[in-house]
């Protein structure tokens, strides 16, 4: 077994590999860029080596520097994680030639399967069903349009070296094919250094189901069941689960056996994933093989009880697989939510910056622990006070739960999301909460178009209706009374002027139009001295109790004898006097006032927000890579104004209406803050 390995990656996957290596008694070496010098993976590793500037092409994609770091530290093997160089045939080959073990498949397997064009040809030769398409690199956007018309719209335009949603577009007409080809080529060149593009038929209403395979150097290959990955936004997975609520036992077996046959055909050694698109009648077609560890591998670990990273390391060290197909278990149900640094209420634009507060829910399992059904696992590469840099992908953490069945796992995940505190950057937690509560998700009736269909106009606060909206107001009143009770016990108060707790309150909320809504509430003790209160409003009574510390964001307790987890903060929103209450994805800002205070509140004038319609402002932090207009230029609605790059994605800003540009305030190459003015209209 290796004594020391180097992890050629960053973020949560680097931390994940370090955890298993530590469990196995193996020393670890981290590599880091300028942007990651204080990153969590650097802190966790036994040693760390600086390999270059912040952009990944100047650091994490520098194969020679990574190999040099191995030699300098005496690392005997390299784990590439996912992304970056994990599916780079030349890197794997060079590592092996330098006498360093590659913790992944052999370079010839990567060459055969990692390239989407080559893998489809090989799958055809192996008589595996594949989707109709053009499997050779396409030389121009005009040729792409011709091919797309021959195949028949809709088509999927894909970068051969693509992955993680980069270099991928769906086109429904000639215009989209022309633009999509150029955009895919640019993204692929920037992210992977390979701009080859191919086109295939886009199967409508498909499900994305993948099979985890594991092979060794002794010819053994097993499949570890499937993962359901159909909940995607712009081809980026959002929620993954294992097993799938859709496929039958017969389909599972057929897909697994086909995946194993494909892996054996390329002498596959290590963990890998064979991806299929599955039709409504459970007919399935080979999409591609990912010759690396997947982001969503934890759900497979939970239901099988296996540590995939450990098995990858053992296979790379020459050991035989310790399991046969008959040993593979399927125990309970696991769901993973990807927690990303993006603002779901601003069309999921990237959100970079400092994590002012990072407090994940309490985790009680690592990797696979079959004794811990209903457990919570958090895989992350960040920490409280750390930075989310703009140079890499948007993932903050992966939240994984393991339950006895699917409904149990969904309930556990919703509760875990309620307890996940992220401040300083926006996150997609409210969106995840909405997805988990959606009737179609709960019933398992969805496909890869689920998000595009149900959130076609973006995601808005009203898309997360709370089953009991009065509970949020009741919780605000309950916590306010606890604050009052503490204040009443402070010593040194003037006699006759001390803080009175009171029982009658008015909860005031203000809607987007500035309209006030007043709700009368009474809060009374129903178990003396226990911190339990009966909160009555709108004819309903909530019996609440909680021993959460005042000032703590996460509040756990009982309401009508049922456990709950919510978040309550004072002065965290736009109104410094309000309590911000969040539960199950819904958030309200509520002022809890005395009846007199509420009457005075009604007399306060409403201050309308300023008119910003004459400004184009940056909707996110990022790099301004293009300004497409000049002062004095007339623009029409829908015309491109600027392009901002953040987290490896290009974001194009378009004109909302016709107008004339009066001033350009920011220049190409400038780093923008959120809401920074780029240009003004006359």
Provide the 10 A C-beta neighbour count for residue 625: 15
- Separation of alpha carbons 323 and 583, rounded Å: 43
Q: Could you identify the residue written with the tokens 């309950």?
A: 478
DSSP per residue, 194-221: ---EEEEE--SS-EEEEEEEEE-TTS-E
Helix, strand and coil content of the chain, in percent to the nearest 5, comes to 30, 35, 40
Residue spans of alpha helices (H) in 153-210: 174-192
Q: Which of 90, 79, 61, 82 is nearest to 17 (CA)?
A: 79
Q: Answer yes or no: 288 catalytic.
A: yes
DSSP per residue, 511-575: -TTS-EEEEEEEEEEEETTTTEEEEEETTEEEEEE--PPTT-SEEEEEETTEEEEEEEEES-SS-
- Separation of alpha carbons 490 and 550, rounded Å: 14
Gyration radius of the chain's alpha carbons:
27
Q: At 292, is the secondary structure helix, strand, or coil?
A: coil
**Which residue of the set 12, 210, 240, 288 is catalytic?**
288
Residue spans of alpha helices (H) in 98-140: 107-113, 116-125
Q: Which residues contact 628 (CB under 8 A, 6 or more apart)?
A: 639, 640, 641, 642, 643
- Separation of alpha carbons 366 and 677, rounded Å: 45
Q: Could you identify the residue written with the tokens 């160089």?
A: 85
Under 8 Å between Cβ of 534 and 541? yes
Distance (Å) of CA 522 to CA 2, 482, 504, 587, 595: 65, 13, 5, 22, 11
Q: Which residues contact 443 (CB under 8 A, 6 or more apart)?
A: none
Q: Which of 430, 432, 425 is nearest to 399 (CA)?
A: 432
- Separation of alpha carbons 169 and 440, rounded Å: 25
Provide the 10 A C-beta neighbour count for residue 171: 23
Q: At 5, is the secondary structure helix, strand, or coil?
A: strand
- Separation of alpha carbons 269 and 95, rounded Å: 16
- Separation of alpha carbons 644 and 676, rounded Å: 12
Under 8 Å between Cβ of 421 and 567? yes
* Active-site residue list: 288
């Amino acid at each position: 077994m290796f004594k020391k390995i180097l992890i050629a990656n960053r973020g949560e996957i680097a931390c994940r590999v370090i955890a298993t290596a530590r469990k196995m008694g193996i020393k670890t070496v981290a590599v880091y860029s300028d942007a990651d010098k204080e990153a969590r993976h650097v802190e966790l590793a036994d040693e760390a080596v600086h390999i270059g500037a912040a952009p990944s092409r100047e650091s994490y994609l520098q194969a020679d520097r990574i190999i040099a770091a191995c030699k300098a530290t005496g690392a005997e093997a390299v784990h590439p994680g996912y992304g970056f160089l994990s599916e780079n045939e030349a890197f794997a080959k060079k590592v092996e030639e330098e006498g360093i073990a590659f913790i992944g498949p052999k370079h010839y397997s990567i060459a055969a399967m990692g390239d989407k064009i080559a893998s489809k040809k090989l799958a055809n030769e192996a008589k595996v069903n594949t989707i109709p398409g053009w499997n050779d690199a396409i030389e121009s956007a005009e040729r792409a349009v011709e091919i797309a018309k021959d195949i028949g719209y809709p088509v999927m335009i894909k970068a051969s070296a693509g992955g993680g949603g980069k270099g991928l577009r769906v086109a429904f007409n000639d215009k989209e094919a022309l633009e999509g080809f150029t955009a895919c080529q640019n993204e692929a060149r920037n992210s992977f250094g390979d701009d080859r593009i191919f086109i295939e038929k886009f199967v409508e209403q498909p499900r994305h189901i993948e099979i985890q395979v594991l092979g060794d150097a002794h010819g053994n290959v097993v499949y570890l069941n499937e993962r359901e990955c159909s909940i995607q936004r712009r081809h980026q997975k959002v929620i993954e689960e294992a097993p799938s609520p859709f496929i039958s036992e017969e389909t599972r077996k057929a897909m697994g056996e086909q995946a194993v046959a494909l892996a054996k055909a390329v002498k596959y050694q290590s963990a890998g994933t064979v991806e299929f698109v599955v039709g409504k009648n459970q007919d399935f077609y080979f999409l591609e093989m990912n010759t690396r560890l997947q982001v969503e591998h934890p759900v497979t670990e939970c239901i099988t009880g296996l540590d995939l990273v450990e098995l990858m390391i053992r296979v790379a060290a020459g050991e035989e697989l310790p399991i046969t197909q008959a040993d593979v278990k399927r125990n309970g149900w696991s769901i993973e939510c990807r927690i990303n640094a993006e603002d779901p209420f601003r069309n999921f634009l990237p959100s970079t910056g400092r994590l002012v507060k990072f407090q994940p829910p309490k985790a009680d399992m690592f990797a696979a622990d079959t004794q811990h059904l209903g457990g919570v696992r958090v895989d992350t590469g960040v920490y409280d006070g750390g930075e989310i840099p703009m140079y890499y992908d948007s993932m903050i953490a992966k939240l994984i739960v393991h339950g006895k069945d699917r409904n149990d796992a969904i309930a556990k995940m919703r509760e875990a999301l309620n307890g996940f505190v992220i401040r300083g950057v926006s996150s997609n937690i409210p969106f995840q909460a909405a997805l988990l509560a959606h009737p179609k998700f709960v019933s398992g009736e969805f496909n890869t178009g689920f998000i595009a269909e149900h959130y076609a106009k973006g995601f808005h606060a009203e898309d997360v209706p709370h089953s009991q909206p009065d509970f949020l107001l009741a919780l605000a009143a309950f916590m306010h009374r606890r604050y009052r009770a503490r204040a009443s016990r402070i010593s040194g108060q003037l006699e006759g002027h001390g803080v009175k707790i009171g029982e009658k309150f008015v909860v005031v909320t203000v809607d987007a139009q500035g309209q006030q809504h007043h709700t009368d509430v009474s809060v009374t003790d129903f178990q003396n001295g226990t911190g339990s209160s009966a909160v009555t409003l709108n004819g309903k009574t909530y019996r609440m109790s909680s021993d959460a510390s005042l000032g703590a964001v996460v509040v756990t307790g009982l309401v009508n004898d049922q456990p709950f987890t919510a978040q309550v903060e004072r002065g965290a929103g736009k109104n410094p006097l309000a309590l911000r209450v969040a539960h199950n994805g819904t958030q309200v800002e509520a002022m809890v006032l005395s009846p007199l205070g509420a009457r005075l509140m009604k007399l306060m004038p409403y201050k309308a927000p300023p008119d910003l319609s004459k400004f184009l402002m940056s909707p996110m932090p990022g790099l301004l890579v293009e300004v497409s207009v000049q002062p004095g230029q007339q623009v029409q609605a829908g015309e491109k104004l600027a392009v901002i790059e953040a987290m490896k994605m290009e974001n194009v800003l378009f004109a909302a209406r016709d107008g004339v540009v009066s001033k350009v305030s920011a220049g190409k190459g400038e780093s923008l803050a959120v809401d920074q003015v780029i240009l003004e209209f006359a």
